[in-house]
A and B are shown apart, each in its own frame.
Chain A
């Protein structure tokens, strides 16, 4: 995974560990509270009460309009995930529960752990439930790493399975839990509330899973590819969409109970890419639900607008690369070159975070040393004009890798971040002119 840059994903985590061991975190937190002069002030909220957290893969708005995030501990032997919620009254984070204990699969089980929630919060508006499903990769407490392929047949070590929880945001209680996918993690989750169905992608086998909330039964519709797509999404006809390894749309139609693959490719850089690995990273629905905006999980990720309700297969508009040009004769890792956190805000514009990094030719940022930036962009869907509105700033670490973004019921932006320890979330306060009450509605039904 090394890219030749000094900082890769593991190094991100080490930076955070160093800061923690030096007892710097509280001071840094205080420093980060200064929003600065930008009209989009940024504030960092570390998972201070979950100091071993190394990633935040899930951040979503709940059915109550509040922001939920996952304090994940995936590189920690025995590490477990703790869901958190932004407390707007006290401007801090509430730590909701130890998920592993909640599902009777504690971190010291000797198995791979319930270490994270990966793009797998999905709201239920009718009853205020937030569904969440866990993912794997956290090693057993007495091993340094975990591989689902290696331990698949090892009853002692193998991940027990993705745990699905129904969390009642009105009472802060877990109503029930079940195993969503035995032995596998849930890479991403979607809720079709009208049909009472959850959809999930399994990892590592990349199977498409349907879970019936009424019967609590699971069906495996089959394998898609090898590289997991990072998002599932829904259209008005209750069809579920994702992507294959080869950069094609994959569509599940409930009436035919079949996965189909599009003839066309998703957007990619045709100069050197073929569409392979152009899987969806993040997908945000437009407020009118006529189209979605998406980014891909590959180098030079492209933004797309996809019109789901038109034609036999949707029109895919390539909105261009989300990140900077680079030397394509040398690979770049996807922690450096990244775009995520797509969400519509109350002003009707799309916001997302794209990385930017020092490059001697394409981005010769003044100064010395490594520089990674997380740039918050605003895209006007009427004109497709993009404008840089602010940069995410971490007091000591990096701020370039945003997993997911969401807008809360007050109209402010939040972004989950990966790369520091402890991990945490960013809040980007929206200018008053761009805020709107209940800006999170209509709510996104997938993680």
Chain B
């Protein structure tokens, strides 16, 4: 199809286009790309071993992560007070893919796949809440290989229960639990191991066959297959669930980028549609705004205001504080202790991207 003619540079359409171009990167809020090191003190994780694909955060705001690439690494990070540090806890031999990290009450567990199959790796307790310029003390952490969770089955995902004492995980065909303190694994039963797990008010949800969800009841320890029908949509890829949000509230997207909230009492509710698909990692901050990435190759940040129902394109991720970096692909995200979001960049030389959303305008009450 050939396009005819030129354009009027003063036309509203061209002016609108120019304005769009001027705001194609991070239209709202501020992003900071933080390298996987203590800047100026340590070197980052090797660039082709640093696709950040798994994140979790503990109640104190300490972040745990896992990378993918030539070799998987597990790391710990902290950004508040006098920290500002990402500490590489080390590579995991014979592993190439981190699928989940669970920040337990006693310590964290990483879940990785590789030449020796799916394995759980214990990360020792690491206290990063120190002054990371002077008078800190920390021995190099030693990772502990806890072995496979289900023999001969790659891991797909895992999350902590609300007490952070137990991990609920899924392989390609089984659900298992792991006591974090002891590392003891119990295989609960067969499930469809597609996509990530979400925490509802009574238990865990995962994607079942035929556009349905299975449910694992935490109190009874029972699996209910085909427990919930997914809403009308395209559900062929593995599900992702947003992090953060109210307890029991789940948010997800179908393959076309349609956004939905779900809770066990009210079912699914449509929230709108991201402007690109597929939808990647998402996180909801306390004021009800859901932020996430959408689109392949060069993803865009979007915001879904679950209160107003609007969905907006916030452009391509870019960090300009200290050093410029563009962010194209992201693997996971968590909500930080003060409402910021930390996204893990799933790319060579992946950084942790701290996103500080724009403060919503306040309507002042008049007397």
Which A residues lie at the B interface, using CB under 8 A?
77, 106, 108-110, 140-145, 147, 149-150, 152-153, 183, 204-205, 222-227, 245, 258-259, 261, 263, 276
Give the distance in Å from the alpha carbon of A109 to the alpha carbon of B298 in the complex.
23
Beta-carbon contacts under 8 Å, B293-323 to A: 295, 297-298, 300, 316, 323
Known: A145-B18, A205-B298. A140 touches B48 (CB 8 A): no
B257 to chain A, nearest CB (A): 11
Q: Does B225 contact A (CB under 8 A)?
A: no
Q: Which residues from A are CB-within-8-Å of B265?
A: none
Q: Does B328 contact A (CB under 8 A)?
A: yes
Give the distance in Å from the alpha carbon of A81 to the alpha carbon of B348 in the complex.
33
Beta-carbon contacts under 8 Å, B317-361 to A: 323-326, 328, 347-349
Contact of B7 among A142, A153, A245, A263 (CB under 8 A): A142
Known: A109-B3, A223-B347, A225-B349. A150 touches B21 (CB 8 A): yes
Chain B 1-44 near chain A by CB (<8 Å), digits 1 or 0: 11111110100001001101100110000000000000000010
Query: Cβ of A145 and Cβ of B21 under 8 Å apart?
Result: yes
Q: Which residues from A are CB-within-8-Å of B325?
A: 225-226, 245
Give the distance in Å from the alpha carbon of A276 to the alpha carbon of B25 in the complex.
21
Identify the closest chain A residue to B7 (Cβ).
A142
Identify the closest chain A residue to B324 (Cβ).
A226
Known: A149-B298, A149-B316, A152-B297. A142 touches B24 (CB 8 A): no
Contact of A144 among B18, B43, B298, B349 (CB under 8 A): B18
A-B contact pairs, 27 of them (CB 8 A): A77-B6, A109-B2, A109-B3, A110-B1, A142-B3, A142-B7, A143-B7, A144-B9, A144-B14, A144-B18, A149-B24, A149-B25, A149-B298, A150-B21, A152-B295, A205-B297, A205-B298, A222-B48, A222-B348, A223-B347, A225-B349, A227-B324, A245-B324, A245-B325, A258-B48, A258-B70, A259-B47
Query: Cβ of B17 and Cβ of A143 under 8 Å apart?
Result: yes
Q: Does B105 contact A (CB under 8 A)?
A: no
Q: Which residues from A are CB-within-8-Å of B47?
A: 259, 261
Give the distance in Å from the alpha carbon of A226 to the alpha carbon of B25 in the complex.
14
Q: Which residues from B are CB-within-8-Å of A259?
A: 47-48, 348
Identify the closest chain A residue to B319 (Cβ).
A226
Query: Cβ of B24 and Cβ of A150 under 8 Å apart?
Result: yes
A100 to chain B, nearest CB (A): 12
Give the distance in Å from the alpha carbon of A322 to the alpha carbon of B46 in the complex.
32
B192 to chain A, nearest CB (A): 31
Q: Does B276 contact A (CB under 8 A)?
A: yes
Identify the closest chain B residue to A77 (Cβ).
B6
Give the distance in Å from the alpha carbon of A106 to the alpha carbon of B298 in the complex.
26
Q: Which residues from A are CB-within-8-Å of B2?
A: 106, 108-110
Q: Which residues from A are CB-within-8-Å of B25?
A: 149
B71 to chain A, nearest CB (A): 12
Query: Cβ of A108 and Cβ of B6 under 8 Å apart?
Result: no
Query: Cβ of B348 and Cβ of A141 under 8 Å apart?
Result: no
Identify the closest chain B residue to A106 (Cβ).
B2
Query: Cβ of B326 and Cβ of A204 under 8 Å apart?
Result: yes
Q: Which residues from A are CB-within-8-Å of B17?
A: 143-144
Give the distance in Å from the alpha carbon of A144 to the alpha carbon of B300 in the complex.
23
Give the distance in Å from the alpha carbon of A222 to the alpha carbon of B21 in the complex.
27
Query: Cβ of A140 and Cβ of B3 under 8 Å apart?
Result: yes
Give the distance in Å from the alpha carbon of A224 to the alpha carbon of B50 in the complex.
12
Contact of B295 among A142, A153, A276 (CB under 8 A): A153
Query: Cβ of A223 and Cβ of B349 under 8 Å apart?
Result: yes
Give the distance in Å from the alpha carbon of A314 to the alpha carbon of B326 in the complex.
29
Known: A110-B3, A223-B348. A143 touches B20 (CB 8 A): no
Give the distance in Å from the alpha carbon of A319 to the alpha carbon of B46 in the complex.
29
Identify the closest chain A residue to B300 (Cβ).
A153
Q: Which residues from B are CB-within-8-Å of A263?
A: 43
Query: Cβ of B3 and Cβ of A245 under 8 Å apart?
Result: no
Identify the closest chain B residue to A182 (Cβ).
B297
B18 to chain A, nearest CB (A): 7
**What are the 10 A-B residue pairs with the smallest beta carbon separation, nearest first?**
A110-B3, A223-B348, A150-B24, A152-B298, A226-B326, A149-B316, A142-B7, A222-B348, A226-B325, A147-B21
Query: Cβ of B323 and Cβ of A142 under 8 Å apart?
Result: no
Beta-carbon contacts under 8 Å, B198-234 to A: none
A255 to chain B, nearest CB (A): 15
A175 to chain B, nearest CB (A): 27
Give the distance in Å from the alpha carbon of A152 to the alpha carbon of B316 in the complex.
10
Give the distance in Å from the alpha carbon of A245 to the alpha carbon of B47 in the complex.
12
Give the distance in Å from the alpha carbon of A183 to the alpha carbon of B48 in the complex.
23
Q: Which residues from B are CB-within-8-Å of A109?
A: 2-3
Q: Which residues from A are CB-within-8-Å of B70?
A: 258
A259 to chain B, nearest CB (A): 6
Give the distance in Å from the alpha carbon of A225 to the alpha carbon of B33 in the complex.
13
Q: Which residues from B are CB-within-8-Å of A261?
A: 46-47
